Structure 1
């Protein structure tokens, strides 16, 4: 190994760090700005969405005593649910989204043809001077409609229904 004037040793002219108190410390946890996660916002600004219902609160084994005693075979079998794919399909009334149940009936006031984007005559460029809300259907914009726009359907007129 070569030695320079400062007393540091070099191997093949490349600095080799020495182990010691000033050596590299690796705690294994990176700072958020050093990770590869591309987060646009702060984690606290994103919010938290809790589960719909508490998970595991009513299940067996949440207390230390239950964990020690274990669960009997009868208790385990009571928790099992049958596979819905193995059951024959329930006969429904053809209405709504629940098989065999009451659902929402189809209304003749709801059209099947989707409406396009509704745009004001001034295309939203100026302040509206009219009291009435007026808009024109300008067609579907490449299928990139918001959920609200996609929910709007065209209701045919009376003379169109009779055709």
Structure 2
């Protein structure tokens, strides 16, 4: 069976950046499971998964526009330290959910000063070209529940972790 709309695909992946540093991998855990066509993986990878079948191994390079988008410098902002009231220690790398006029956004602390904290609302992989090494493990038809819910369920019909 080929990966098409309304199928559930399981695959192993290793994700690297342009410097060939491993950013993430499923090789030592369960394969990634997703509902094809539900936009639950980056679009550049989903496009390349179309038509593949169990046993296929391939590599994909995903440009930022088809991955996590380009970096947007306006999403890097200095906010008063008082915005973190009730948090004793703030350090670079910490992530917070911020309420904005466009809705909730996850921000990452990049610098901490005495009066201000610099936060970045870009996805950590924004602006990065993503290099995937893929091995398709299985492909099956999606259940009506999975299609209705818009995501894959595990082998017991329960909501999957991915």
- Give TM-score, length-normalised by structure 2: 0.19
Q: Which has the higher strand share?
A: 2
Bigger proportion of residues as helix: 1
TM-score, normalised to structure 1, is 0.19
Q: Radius of gyration: which is bigger? A: 1
Bigger RCO of structures 1 and 2 (CA < 8 A, at least 6 apart): 2
